[in-house]
Amino acid sequence: MAQAYDVLLVRHGESESNATGRFAYQSWDPRLTQKGLEQARQLAGRLQQAPISYLATSPLTRAQETIRPLADALKIEAVVIPELAEVNLGQWDGVRLVDLEQANNSEFQAWRRDPEANPPPGGESILTVGRRVLAGLEKFVTSREPGLTVAATHADCIKGTVLVITKSAGPAARSLFVPNCGQLMMRYLPNFHRWVLVLTQGYFG
């Protein structure tokens, strides 16, 4: 069988931005809450028996704190991949969601309907996010021997990859829910230059 590269994308645990309902891109770099730290420890407990070869992470603190218990358990250093960073939220960076909702912000409502056609002012579209995540991961995995990579990233990064792989339109993002420490299994097929989604069983619970 031809070589294949497996990647388990993991959303970070609950962060201070999640707990307070604020967008976070560049204006601040929130840490995990106590709940988020416990989620990260539980994640490590579930995954440390998996045949993991590599660990990777977004450059943001909440993702790095999520992967750290697993890195400590496996004695594998997590490599920072810049392309795994949060979606660029443009003018909404640091803004509370409730404030945008209460202001009946038309751009915010349009973004919720279709984050591809209506990205945040000055920010990224959802498919742009997915493409950069997949490009960063492709570069990472193909520079190494095949093996399972666990990579910590962000909710919209995971949603974007699903849309790109499945060739779905922007509104489909609103049919996807990624909980804190939620996981997505993918496989890169170098002979076909493509990513596929993988339905799994076992240690990815």
> Which residues in the chain land under pLDDT 50?
1, 205
Instruction: For residue 134, tell me if it sits in a domain.
Output: yes
Distance CA 182, CA 11 (A): 5
Instruction: For residue 96, tell me if it sits in a domain.
Output: no
Instruction: For residue 104, tell me if it sits in a domain.
Output: no
Count structural domains, the chain.
1
Instruction: For residue 74, tell me if it sits in a domain.
Output: yes
Whole-prediction pTM value?
0.95
Instruction: For residue 107, tell me if it sits in a domain.
Output: no
Instruction: For residue 118, tell me if it sits in a domain.
Output: no
Instruction: For residue 50, tell me if it sits in a domain.
Output: yes
Instruction: For residue 34, tell me if it sits in a domain.
Output: yes
Distance CA 204, CA 46 (A): 7
Containing domain of residue 70, as a range? 5-20+30-89+125-197
The CATH number assigned to the domain holding 150 equals 3.40.50.1240
pLDDT at residue number 205: 45
